[in-house]
Amino acid sequence: MRIWTMSAVAAGVIAACAAPEMPLPPEGAALYAKNCALCHGPAGRGDGPMAAGLSPAPADLTRIAARAGGEFPRADVLSTIDGYTRMDMDQAQDMPEFGLLLRGETVPVDVGDGQFTPVPRPLAALLVYLESIQEG
C-alpha cells in the first residue's frame, strides 16, 4: 500500500511539473472574434465594421508573413498585440493596447530565436491563430 501511495504522489508531482502546452488556433480564434474582428474583420483582412473610420486602416492580418518576407515574425506580432512596440509612437494609434487583457498562465513560446519565452496563454493563443490564417 505504501509503495502505491508513493507512486501516486510521484506521478502527481511529475504531472504538475509538465510544461503547459501551446494553445491551438480555435482558442485564439475565440479571442480574436471577441477583441479584434470589429476592426480587422472576421477573416482578418482589415475590413471589419469599424475599419472605415480608422486611420491608419487596420492591417490585413492574413498577410503578416508575406509583408515580413515570407516568415511569420512572432516576436513582432506579440509586441504589437500587447502594445509594447506602440508605447513610444508619436502618432495616434487607434489600436488599443491589449496587454492587460491578455494576462494569465504562461506557456513557452519560441519567438523565432530558438529560445522559449514565457508568454501569457491568451497572447500565445492569438499568436497561434494569426499564424494559422496566413496567406501567400
Our count of domains for the chain comes to 1
Residue 16 in any domain: the answer is no
What is the CATH classification number for the domain harbouring 93? 1.10.760.10
Q: Which residues pair with 117 in a beta bridge?
A: 109
The answer to whether residue 9 sits within a structural domain is no
How would residue 101 be classed by pLDDT, with cut points 50, 70 and 90?
Answer: confident
Question: Would 70 be classed as within a structural domain?
Answer: yes
In a domain, 54, yes or no: yes
Print the domain residue range for 42.
Answer: 22-132
Phi, psi of 106 (to 5 degrees): -100, 155
> For residues 57 and 48, what is the distance between their CA atoms, to the nearest angstrom?
10
User: Does 32 reside within a domain?
Assistant: yes
5-45 pLDDT, tens digit each = 555 554 444 444 566 899 999 999 999 999 999 999 999 99
In a domain, 8, yes or no: no
CB 43 within 8 A of CB 62: yes
- Tell me, what's the pLDDT at 75? 94
In a domain, 88, yes or no: yes
For residue 2, what pLDDT is reported? 60
The reply to whether 6 falls in a domain is no
Residue 31: CA atoms inside 13 Å, Cβ hemisphere, count?
21
Q: Are strands 106-110 and 116-120 parallel, antiparallel or unpaired?
A: antiparallel
